[in-house]
Structure 1
Amino acid sequence: MTRYGLRARVITLTLAPTLIIGLLLSAFFSYNRYHDLESQVLNAGRAS
């Protein structure tokens, strides 16, 4: 049996999914924004 109490388990079960979802969303939006900026730079290069 573990020595962690109910409070530690509840905090872990609420913070872990929140952190995972936050990290995944930030990675997705950073990746998406990077590709948007890259395509914008390429389009600007073609236009000039």
Structure 2
Amino acid sequence: MFDHESIASVNPLATRDEQLANIRQIYPPEREALGVVAIGIELVDPPRRT
């Protein structure tokens, strides 16, 4: 993830090593081996007033 996203945009209060340690607590190597899915959302129309 950090190869494609800046560290500060994930958690600006933690170093890269701290963030990796936190992620490893959630996703240990056996879960990481399953792969990753990322979803991007883009607003294409401004909200309409009702």
Q: TM-score, normalised by structure 1?
A: 0.27
Q: Which has the higher contact order (CA 8 A, sep 6+)?
A: 2
Q: TM-score, normalised by structure 2?
A: 0.26
> Which of these two proteins has the greater Rg computed from alpha carbons?
1
